[in-house]
Structure 1
Amino acid sequence: MPAGRRKKEIKLSLMEFNAQMVQKEQKQHKSAPNAWRQKLQIKEGTTTTTAAEAAKQLLPKRSISKSVVKVRFDLPDEEEEETITRDQAAMQADPRSKSQIQLLKRPVVKPAANNNNNETHSDSIRGTRRGRGHRRVKHCPRIPTPPRTVPTELRQVDSMTSADFRHDFAAHVDNMRTRQKNQQHMHFFQTLMEENQHLLKNRNLLVLNCGTGTLALMAARAGAAQVYAVDYSLVTNYAQLVVKQNNYEHIIKVLHGHVSQLKLPERVDGIICNWMGHCLLYESELLQLLQARERWLKPGGFIMPDMAALYLLGSAEYLLKNERCNWWLNVYNFNMRALRRYALAEPRYAKIKGEHLLTKAHKVLSLNLNTVSLEQLHINKDIKLQVQHDGFCECFVLYFDVAFSRAHQPLTLSCNPCLQTNYKSPWLQTVLFVEQSFMMRAQQEYKGRLVFQSLAKPGEAVDLLHMKFEIELHEHDKNDSIGRALVLKSWNMMPRFQTLQEVADCQDRLVAHEPQN
C-alpha cells in the first residue's frame, strides 16, 4: 500500500456484522475436528462406554440410572460417520455393552375398562386420543364443620338469619356498635349517673330499652341495689352475656318482652330510658315508658331524662336541597321529576350547620314525662317565626333538647345545629323541604300553624311509627294583616314506602302540579 494512503473504511449494518461473525465461528469449528476429544481428554481407540464415564465427570452429581447413560456430543459433520462405525464395532466386540444402551419411548397407557354403563363411548375415545384412559374424578370426602362454641345466652340469636334482622335490627352487632360508639347521648347518661349517684345508690331501678346493657351496668356501678333491664329485642341475649362477664348478675336481671307482657316482683324508685326519637316522638319509646310509669314507678320516683322540648326554624339549605331533591330534575339529561315528588314528601335527617339558619328557634312542643299523657303526644298549635337574616327559605329544620329536672347540676342533651361537638348523634336534625323557595325578610312577620300527629284514625291506639307533619305559613306585615300564603304542605313519616296517592297528598297545595299517570 503506498505510503500516505489510508485503508478505506467499510461501514456495516448490525445484521451484516452478525453474519460475518457466524461465518468466522463456523470456519474455526471445522478447522479443529478433534476439539471435543481434547475437552473430554479422550484418546484414539476409546470405546463408547469409556467416553460415557468421562462425560460423567463433567456432569453435576445427581442420581443417574446404573444401566443407562445418555451422552450427547455435538460432533462435526466430518467425524459423524467415523464415530457411528466405531461404536457399532465396539458393541459387536463386547456383547455386555448392549445392556448399556436402550431406546427410550414414551409410555402408552392402555385405556381402562369401561365398567360404568352411564359413561358414553365418546368419552372413552376422547381419553384414548389423549394418550390416557378415561378416569372418573374422585369426589373429595366432605370436610366436617369444626365444632362452634356458642355461649348458652347466644344460642337463640345465633340462629337468626338476615330475614330475622330485618324485623329486629337492634339485635345486629353493627347496630349495637353504631348506637354506642362515640355517641353524644351515651356520654350524657354516663355524666348524669356519675354526678347524681345519691339518687341511684341503694335504689331499685328499671332500665327500659336496655340494648346491650350498658346503661344498666352504669346504674349498677353507681351503687344501685337492684336493676331490671328490659327490652323487646333479642339484644337481651347479648345483655345477659355482658352482665355475666362483668360479674353483675347478682344485681342486674335482664328481661325480654314488652312492658305489657312482663311482671316485676316490686315497684322501682326510678326509670332510666333512652326514649327519644326523631322529632322527639317519631319511633320513640314513649308508649313503653308511659306504661312502665303507670305500672311500676313508685310515687315520687324519677324518670331520667324527664324534660324535653322541640324547636322549629327556617333555613336556606340550598346545597342540601339540590343534593337531596333538585338533583332529580335532570339525571343524565333525563326528566325524573316524579322521583323529586317522592323526595319532597318525606322528611330527611341530616347534619345541619347554623350558618344557613334564617330564623330564631321557635318552641313547638314541651314535655314533662312525670305528668304527660297519651293525648298530649301530638302538636296542633300556631307558630311564629322571627327572621334574623334575609334569604330564601328552602326548608324547615326541627331539633330537640332533653334534660333531667332533678340533676345535681344542670345538664342538657341538645341536637341544636348551632352547637359544635365532637360526638355523634343518632337523630341529627329533621329537615322538611318546601317545594318552592320563598324570600324571608327581617322586617316581615311569618305566622301559621303546625300539626304533628299520629296517622291513627279516631278511636284507634296511638301509633308513633306512622305520623304526619303539616305546615301552613303566611306573610304578615307590621300591622299584623295577613299577606300572601307561602306554604301549605304536609310530610309523611312512616317505616314503609309511600303510595302514589300519599305522595300526591303531600305536595304543596299552593303550587300547580302536572297530572301524574
Structure 2
Amino acid sequence: MDSNYIESYNDLQVHQLMLLDSARNQAYRQAVFDNKDFIQGKIVLDIGCGTGILSVFCAQAGAAKVYGVEASGINEIAKNIVKENKFENIIEIINSRIEDVTLPSKVDIIISEWMGFYLFHEGMLKSILEARDKFLKPEGVMFPESATLFAAPISVPSYFEKWSDIDGVSMNTFGEKIRIEASKKPVISAIEPDCILSDPEIVTWIDLKEITQEELKLMEAEHLVVCNKSGKYQGICLWFSCTFPSQDTEPIILSTGPEDPKTHWKQTIIVLPTEIEVEKGAPIAYKLSLKASEDSFRKYNLEVTMLDSNEIQHPEYCSCYMTKCIVIRAMLDKYEKDNSARA
C-alpha cells in the first residue's frame, strides 16, 4: 500500500496540479519570507519535497542547509531544479521515505505540504509527526504550525435536481442511483459559497508541535448549527485552513473554503442519501466522525450521523426558531437591558 502511494507521485500531472495552485504556493512563499530573519543560517527539513519548490523558497530566504526528502522518482527532477536555481551547495535531495532517513544533526525547521483532501486524506501527517519527534530541535518550528478542519451543511443541486429533464427526458431513476453512489464515499468538488446553509463549525484543530499519533486515530464532533437561509439540506461540506508562523506580521493562513481562492484541494462533500427542506432559522444537528482505517494508515473513514435537534442542548444564545430558544433569548436580552439600566 505504501509503495502504491509513493509511486502515485511519479505522475507529473500530480505535481503540475500543485505547482499551478497559486494560493498554495503564495502562502508557503509568504510564510518563508516573512520568517526570513529566523530562517537565515538555519537547517531546514522539507518532507515530501516533490519537485523541490519549498526547498528552493527556504534556500532563497537564506537557509544554511535544506534537506529535501522525496521517496518517489520525482526526486530526480527536484535535483535538476536545485541545479537550475544554483542551490546545489545548500539543498540536498534525499531519495528515501522519511522514516528511513538519517541526518547528521537535528533541524531548526520542518516544512511540508502534507495536507490531503479534508486535511487528513493520504495520512502523510503520520510521517510528519514521526520526523518531528526524531529530527526537530525542541525550539524548532513547523511550517505550517497548526491546521483546522471545518464543516457546514450544504445544498448540492448537481446531485439532486438536474435529472428531471435531460434534453426532454426524465432521468430521476438514474439520478437516484448516482446520489446513492455519491453518499457511499466523499466527493471532491468546488462548491459555490451560496450553497453553504449555515456558518461553519470547527471539527478539529491541531497543533503540529503537540499533536500525537494517538489523537489522530479518532476525531469526532457534534454540531448544532442554524440555517442562515432557506434551502435543501443535501450534504455536509468539509474544508481546512493551515496557519503558518510569522515573525513580523499576522500569521499567514492558507484556507481552502468555498469563499477563498480556488485550490487543488477544492472541498470535500459528504452527500446525504435524501434531502431535507429547511427554512432560515432552522436548527440542524449532526455528528461527524473521522476514524483512521484499520486497513491503511493513509485512509480515514468519514461518517455523518443525523441527530434530533430537539434532543441536543442548544447554545445559550441559539438563534434558531425553536420556541425555547426564542424565549431564552428574550429573557437574556431583558436581563442585559435591566443590568444596563441599573449601571
How far has the Cα of 1:341 moved from its partner?
2.9
**CA shift in 2, pair 1:464/1:331, >3 Å:** farther
Aligned to 1:416: 257
**Pairing 1:386–2:220 present:** no
How far has the Cα of 1:254 moved from its partner?
0.5
Aligned length: 308
**CA shift in 2, pair 1:445/1:413, >3 Å:** same
Task: Provide the rounded CA distance (Å) in 1 between the counterparts of 2:280 and 2:311.
Answer: 11
Task: Provide the rounded CA distance (Å) in 1 between the counterparts of 2:83 and 2:75.
Answer: 12
Aligned to 2:80: 241
Task: Provide the rounded CA distance (Å) in 1 between the counterparts of 2:103 and 2:164.
Answer: 53
- The 3-state SS of whatever aligns with 1:240 is helix
**Pairing 1:476–2:313 present:** no
How far has the Cα of 1:334 moved from its partner?
9.8
The answer as to whether partners of 1:207 and 1:215 remain within 8 angstroms in 2 is: yes
**CA shift in 2, pair 1:243/1:480, >3 Å:** closer
The answer as to whether partners of 2:228 and 2:281 remain within 8 angstroms in 1 is: no
Task: Provide the rounded CA distance (Å) in 1 between the counterparts of 2:165 and 2:221.
Answer: 34
**Pairing 1:231–2:65 present:** no
How far has the Cα of 1:198 moved from its partner?
1.1
Aligned to 2:318: none
Task: Provide the rounded CA distance (Å) in 2 between the counterparts of 1:479 and 1:264.
Answer: 52
**CA shift in 2, pair 1:268/1:446, >3 Å:** same
Task: Provide the rounded CA distance (Å) in 1 between the counterparts of 2:292 and 2:185.
Answer: 15
Task: Provide the rounded CA distance (Å) in 1 between the counterparts of 2:263 and 2:207.
Answer: 22
Aligned to 2:35: 196
**CA shift in 2, pair 1:365/1:331, >3 Å:** farther
Aligned to 2:297: 463
- The 3-state SS of whatever aligns with 1:345 is coil
Aligned to 1:515: none
- The residue identity in structure 1 corresponding to 2:267 is Q
**CA shift in 2, pair 1:390/1:407, >3 Å:** farther
- The 3-state SS of whatever aligns with 1:193 is helix
TM-score normalised by L of structure 2: 0.82
Q: Any residues of structure 2 matched to 1:67-82 within 5 Å, and which?
A: none
Aligned counterpart for 1:280 among listed residues 96, 104, 119:
119
Task: Provide the rounded CA distance (Å) in 2 between the counterparts of 1:291 and 1:188.
Answer: 24
Aligned to 1:183: 22
Aligned counterpart for 1:435 among listed residues 263, 270, 273:
273
The answer as to whether partners of 1:165 and 1:172 remain within 8 angstroms in 2 is: no
The answer as to whether partners of 1:445 and 1:478 remain within 8 angstroms in 2 is: no
The answer as to whether partners of 1:444 and 1:478 remain within 8 angstroms in 2 is: no
Aligned to 1:269: 108
The answer as to whether partners of 1:205 and 1:227 remain within 8 angstroms in 2 is: yes
Answer 1 or 2: which has greater strand percent: 2
Write the deviation string for residues 360-393 of structure 1: whole angstroms up to 9, x where unpaired.
1011110001000011113123222222112210
The answer as to whether partners of 1:309 and 1:402 remain within 8 angstroms in 2 is: yes
Unaligned runs of 5+ in 1: 1-163, 482-517
**CA shift in 2, pair 1:384/1:335, >3 Å:** closer
Aligned to 1:213: 52
- The 3-state SS of whatever aligns with 2:289 is strand
Aligned to 1:402: 242
- The residue identity in structure 2 corresponding to 1:286 is L
Aligned to 1:503: none
- The 3-state SS of whatever aligns with 2:9 is helix
The answer as to whether partners of 2:67 and 2:91 remain within 8 angstroms in 1 is: yes
Write the deviation string for residues 185-206 of structure 1: whole angstroms up to 9, x where unpaired.
1111111111110121000110
- The 3-state SS of whatever aligns with 2:88 is coil
- The residue identity in structure 2 corresponding to 1:397 is C
Identity %: 22
Write the deviation string for residues 116-173 of structure 1: whole angstroms up to 9, x where unpaired.
xxxxxxxxxxxxxxxxxxxxxxxxxxxxxxxxxxxxxxxxxxxxxxxx9996232233
Write the deviation string for residues 289-326 of structure 1: whole angstroms up to 9, x where unpaired.
00110111011100000111111101122135446x99
Aligned to 2:134: 295
- The 3-state SS of whatever aligns with 1:223 is coil
Unaligned runs of 5+ in 2: 315-343
Task: Provide the rounded CA distance (Å) in 1 between the counterparts of 2:213 and 2:173.
Answer: 45
The answer as to whether partners of 1:230 and 1:254 remain within 8 angstroms in 2 is: yes
- The residue identity in structure 1 corresponding to 2:188 is Y
Write the deviation string for residues 196-246 of structure 1: whole angstroms up to 9, x where unpaired.
101210001101111111111110110000000001111111111111232
